[in-house]
Chains A and B, each alone.
Chain A
Amino acid sequence: MLKNSRHSFRVTLIALLCAFLLLAAFRFRTSSERSHATAKSSASAARLARLPPVILWAWERPEKLDYLDPRKVGVAFLAKTIYLRGDAAVSRPRLQPLNVPNGATVIAVARIEAPRESDRAETPTLSQRQLKDAVTEIAELGSLPHVVMVQVDFDATTTQRSFYRELLRDLRASLPPSTLLSITALASWCKGDNWLDDLPIDEAVPMLFRMGVERKQFLSQLAAGAPFSAAPCQASAGISTDEPIAQLSPVQRVYVFNPKSWTPEAVNQTLETYQK
């Protein structure tokens, strides 16, 4: 009996010790990762904080924006569209002219298009080759003149998330360390969903337009002043000139999409509405 009790005591002790060691190792690892991440994120935050408060998305149409005040307004231009078709990543560059003022903050955007799953013939394989090709294409944007950030615009279904996670990880490794990495995000990714948490990105821009069925819900929450819960989503917001949001919670940066080419009037109106 005594022997059994001692035995049990020893077993429990060893088990507790193992658990303690595991937890200690875990805590050490996370605290070490945290301190590294903190150092990295503070540098990233400082670079992000230097971005202008309003950034205009310049999509695939002629955009003459050389009249902008570069201190107040930046330009995120669609530089490439990458089509994931079958096993290929076909890249199409921007073919429309873009003029930006000297000293402008320039963000290069890569849009990834993948056919809907129902289009089976073109369904992307999401293979390593496709991933590598897409990363190579996007990473090239980091070397364009004056580009401070690369932004990836994509729609990921649940099953595609691991592909995009890996793509962003490889992209981060391929970009110059000083180049920021941003993604556009569905509003639902920023609230009640945590898949953004471990992405190697500097920001995720919640897209507060073309939200479809989610629109009512998110507008209501924004009006109520509720911020997005995902950390990468908290500093910026993406809105569109044709779906204005009057009660936007204060954010560091507002990205503004215009379904038409930008005009000085539209820029002024945007600045009046969103410049803090």
Chain B
Amino acid sequence: MKRNLRRTIFAMVLLVAIVVQAPLALACGPFALESIFVFTVHPEYPLENFARGNLGVVLPSYARSYLFVAYRHLNGASFTATEQQALVDLWRDRLDLRWTNEAENAVDGWLEARKKVSGLPAEAPKIDVYRPREKPHEYDVYLNCQQDAFENAVATLAARMQKFGADSATVKEWVDAQDQVFANCSAGQTIPAALPADADALRRADRDYQIAAASFYSGSFAAAIAKFETIAADTNSPWRTKAQYLVARTLLRKASLGPEETKQEALKASEERLTKILSDSELKESHAAAMRLLGLVRLRLHPEERLHELGVSLARKTEQPNLKQDLWDYTILLDGFIGDEDAHHRKSFSVPTAAGETTDDLTDWIATFQSEKPEAVDHSLTRWQETSSVPWLIAALAKVGPQHAKAAALQQAAANIPPTSPGFASASFYSVRLDVAAGRSAAARTKIDDLLHKHASSFNRSALNLLQQQRVLVSQNLEDFLSHAQRTPGGLSWNDDGREVPVDEAEATDELKALQGKTLFDTDAGEILNSKLPLAVLSQIPESNVLPENLRRDVTQAVWLRAVLLGDAATATALAPKLKALVPEMAPLLDNYAATRDPAAKKFAALYAWLKFPGLEPVVDTGIGRGQPLNEQESYRDNWWCSAAFSTPESRAIAEKEKTAAGLANDNRVPAFVTTAQRAAAAKENATLESFGAAPNYLCREVVEWATKNPSDPRVPEALHLAVKTTRYGCTDKQTGRWSKAAYDFLHRRYPNNQWTKQTPYWFKD
């Protein structure tokens, strides 16, 4: 009895607990791998290839550091191995958002070295290298104490320990003062006290240097400059040479962080000081650091001059010892002048120059190549005619239209570029693009096939895919089209931030491995298949062996369902055996479909199959596509055909924008073999499909209609259940709730005790 009571109470408690405990829906973040057929933000990986001169097709949408490298190679100026490494380092820093915590690591190094000194407090001071600024810049933080400060402290400590001994009071005194110096890194003002005049000369020199450094880190720039000047004038101080440089560095820091009105003055003073150091052979040990700092000062003081100065020096064919920093500065300056907006929003295709200066060729080329302004076309042609250089030839080729008077001359010049040239792929692509756009299909076909067969090694995967995009447009027949519509992606990327960074090998999941080497449909090919070819043409594809099985399966299911939806039962019936062979799980449903004669019953048989196979859709996937098997639901509602529900003006605008990215758009995107009548038929069929709206609405409507007329069909309760399910897991619109309720009501009213009714406790509003 007691046991029964306990059970009853336990059951009640459990019931209450279940009521109280809300269930958690389990859904992971929507991170999806994306196939990148053509890299547009940067060249295809590995970037080392690009640095080496394997440029592929240079696109104007590339970031400017890549365009600089392209310019150099196109001009016949390659990079040394060291320079190539510097370039790759810069790109990886930017693309991987690499953040080196060198300063923090250096802090650790200093704290470790400090442990060797006895008699210090057990707990080491906490050093934070970042310091917030004062009002009105209270949200700004800057790296105050840099790596070299801690390295210098470690070296000095080692030297003083050697001279005075690790246990000496002098060393402990020095470390105490150094702790005070570093206390300024993150906040406040802690200045070590000066030593008496009769103190040991080295102790005093060290202390003076520490006082100057503490003033520098605490933002007391005037005091720091005065102290460093005193040290620089002290011929006995071991810090004399360094102090000269540190005066200039303090002036630069003052310009960066001090009052706005003293900024120019401080920069000029810093520039003068650095120039003086560089002209003094006695200060040779500071020259390298002074040179780097002078570049930074000039970048701020004379940005236009510095830009062109860098443009000239970077374009030189000689080795650049400071390539990474110079290119970093150059591109930052260029971004500031040209703007980093989309091409058609950029401020100008020309870059301002200081009075009396002319622009440098590199800067001019990058700005022109990236510009979509009409005047950039003529400018590129003028520069090509003036220079006869490959970079300007490619800029002009990329810009002119097929009807331009100079187009033929440009194409002739492009034809003279040998396959060994870094410009061969670009010149060939931009030239043949003109043939395609001009409608010279046969010539274009011959040229592209020649490139694909004889010169494929001059093209990377992205560049080959660009050629294939053009080749598809001049395809002679369906088979020809299909052989060029399938492509291997240039890379796979999560691309959740638009940086097109490919997944690295360490991230090779099973999903990724399964995709490697497989051909897929790029967006342009998908668009042609989904909206430019009529059913009569599409239905021939399953007969073809040109496509690999993964693509044949996708096309066959799309064409079969399209035939069903368009009411072409004959075509759908003819395709059923092909689909059955490719998707054996559908065999019983397809057999039933093929065996059914009555048109309405046949349609219901097809829709019943569709309900059970949520992955079926009357369109092909582009890229990686839907991840789940056809008979399984996809977590992100890519079930029962999503595309139709989303033909909104915004989505069309976005798709158009994506297509025009990198100048890849083409006005005539229909393959040459498609006749006018076929285009019209495709347009009509697409309008019919779009009129169905969201697939769940269509399915509910059709199922309810069939159920009303055929309530005794044993499939009906399950079909109604599945129809309601589509409104939960499919792509919906504002009408969906109405249809969900209609199917739900019908199921509950007509089949109250059916197992499918019990499994359908809700209908779904959206």
Contacts and interface: CB of A to CB of B under 8 A. Distances in A.
Interface of A: 7, 11-12, 14-15, 18-19, 22-23, 26, 77, 79, 90, 92-100, 106, 116, 118-119, 144-145, 155-158, 186, 188, 192-195, 197-198, 210-214, 216-217, 219-221, 223-226, 243-247, 259-261
Contact of B139 (A77, A212, A224, A247): A77
24 contacts: A14-B8, A15-B12, A19-B15, A90-B101, A95-B141, A144-B139, A145-B138, A157-B29, A158-B26, A186-B30, A195-B24, A214-B637, A216-B642, A216-B646, A217-B642, A217-B731, A217-B732, A220-B646, A220-B694, A220-B731, A223-B650, A243-B654, A245-B650, A260-B341
A214 B30 contact: yes
B140 A94 contact: yes
A195 B29 CA distance: 12
Given A106-B139, A260-B341, A26 B496 contact: no
Given A144-B139, A158-B27, A211-B30, A26 B16 contact: yes
Contacts of B646: 216-217, 219-220
Contact of B13 (A22, A156, A220, A259): A22
A97 B137 contact: yes
Contacts of B506: 118-119
Contacts, number: 152
Q: Top 9 A-B pairs ranked by shortest CB distance?
A: A224-B734, A15-B8, A93-B141, A19-B12, A216-B646, A118-B507, A226-B766, A98-B139, A213-B32
Looking at chain B's contact residues, the main secondary structure is loop
Contacts of B141: 93-95
Contacts of A245: 650
A19 B143 CA distance: 63
B29 A225 contact: no
B648 interface: yes
Among B27, B497, B732, B765, max chain A CB count under 10 A is at B27
Interface of B: 1, 4-5, 8-9, 12-13, 15-16, 19-20, 22, 24-32, 34, 99, 101, 130, 132, 135-143, 340-341, 494, 496-498, 506-509, 636-638, 642-643, 645-646, 648-651, 654, 694, 731-734, 765-766
Contact of B31 (A97, A100, A212): A212
Given A26-B20, A158-B27, A260-B340, A224 B507 contact: no
A194 B143 CA distance: 41
Given A106-B139, A213-B636, A221-B732, A11 B5 contact: yes
A70 B616 CA distance: 52
A216 B651 contact: yes
A158 B28 contact: yes
Contacts of B140: 94, 96-98
Given A214-B637, A220-B645, A246-B649, 6 more contacts: A11-B8, A12-B8, A14-B8, A96-B140, A197-B22, A216-B646
A168 to B, nearest CB: 16
B16 A22 contact: yes
Nearest to B638: A213
B651 A188 contact: no
A42 B350 CA distance: 55
Nearest to A92: B99
A207 to B, nearest CB: 11
Among B101, B508, B636, max chain A CB count under 10 A is at B636
